[in-house]
A and B are shown apart, each in its own frame.
Chain A
Amino acid sequence: MHEAAVAQKLLQLILAETEKHGGRPVAARVSYGPLEAINKEALCFAFEAISGHTACSSVKLHVEQKPLLANCGQCKHSFEIDLKSQAAAVCPQCGSADFEVLADAPLMLERIEFEIGGKDERN
């Protein structure tokens, strides 16, 4: 629901990094955990809408949802929690319900890809 606000912050971050780095940004990798209340399509749509008249107009967003992880308290196995599952979560290795859910992955700008070289400058 607040993807437009997130897209605005993301655009500012990429523009600031572009200023430091130089060149034309063409792609950016973003990741987030399932508890961050983000819809991938809405984020891409909002970003495309606001980046059109900026130096980020050719940036293609690659958005990846990271899994929510847990550590089993019994067998120490690390596993992914499936929030879509109807069944109560248990450790897939030992079946224990005694596990610790780890912190959700934050909404991150991981990498930016730049196009360099003179022939692209005329675009």
Chain B
Amino acid sequence: MSEIDVNKRILGENDRRALENSLFLAGRGMPCLNVISSPGAGKTTLLARTIKAMADSIRIGVIEGDITTSLDADKIKSAGGVAIQINTDGACHLSAAQVFEALGKLPLDDLDMIVIENVGNLVCPSAFALGESAKVAVLSVAEGDDKPAKYPALFAKSRALLINKMDLLGPAVDFDIDRATADVRALNKDVEIFPVSAFTGQGMEVWYEWLREQVRREKRRL
């Protein structure tokens, strides 16, 4: 018998490609957000509203990840945005190589920020780096306030959390914001939390300001 120490990251190839993406984008002074949530939390509606509202200040290029269809990219384009659709054909997450390819199809010179809308899944996408400057989690109130405790990985790794569909709060949707917030902060003290409704626009102005700050920050680093 003989043993050898290897100590290599099993997802090292993806990590290397993610690092290349992040260096490439940092070199252009562009922030890149990796937006992750379960299916139906409202990521696309949130992005479409954000793109429309910010059209005069920040130009956002969107990379859409879905198992199949181009429905989400179509929605972004209808809102006046630029979008590239990736279909993962069953895979539960986007990879850094897919993002690299999509970046090559975006008109980067005309954009201030890249937003990647990952495959709707509260578990897997958080384990694959894409080259993002920040992960952003979206949780809708209809999913329940216990989700941060039950699916801690994404919430522990995100720089911002949007609690969406705030307009649904009421007798049928009982979501304790304090509980969800406490569970997220237990593992992630510095996370920014934005209670919003992408449908009514409630709370969105603070989120827009956070996005502007991301752009300013990346530009300052150049």
Contacts and interface: CB of A to CB of B under 8 A. Distances in A.
B9 interface: yes
Interface residues of B, number: 31
A7 to B, nearest CB: 9
Given A2-B93, A101-B187, 7 more contacts: A2-B128, A9-B13, A13-B8, A37-B124, A107-B9, A113-B3, A114-B2
B189 to A, nearest CB: 8
Contacts of A108: 7-10
Contacts of B2: 23, 113-114, 116
Interface in B14-35: none
Contacts of B123: 1, 37
Contacts of A5: 91
B52 to A, nearest CB: 33
A35 B4 contact: no
Contact of B186 (A2, A17, A88, A107): A88
18 contacts: A1-B123, A1-B124, A2-B127, A13-B8, A21-B4, A23-B2, A35-B127, A35-B152, A35-B157, A83-B152, A89-B186, A107-B10, A110-B6, A111-B4, A112-B3, A113-B2, A114-B1, A116-B1
Interface residues of A, number: 37
B182 interface: yes
Contact of B127 (A13, A36, A97): A36
Contact of A6 (B3, B8, B11, B189): B11
Contacts of B11: 6, 9, 106-107
A97 B93 CA distance: 33
A89 B184 CA distance: 12
A26 B1 CA distance: 9
Given A13-B8, A88-B182, A101 B188 contact: yes
A64 interface: no
B121 interface: yes
B110 interface: no
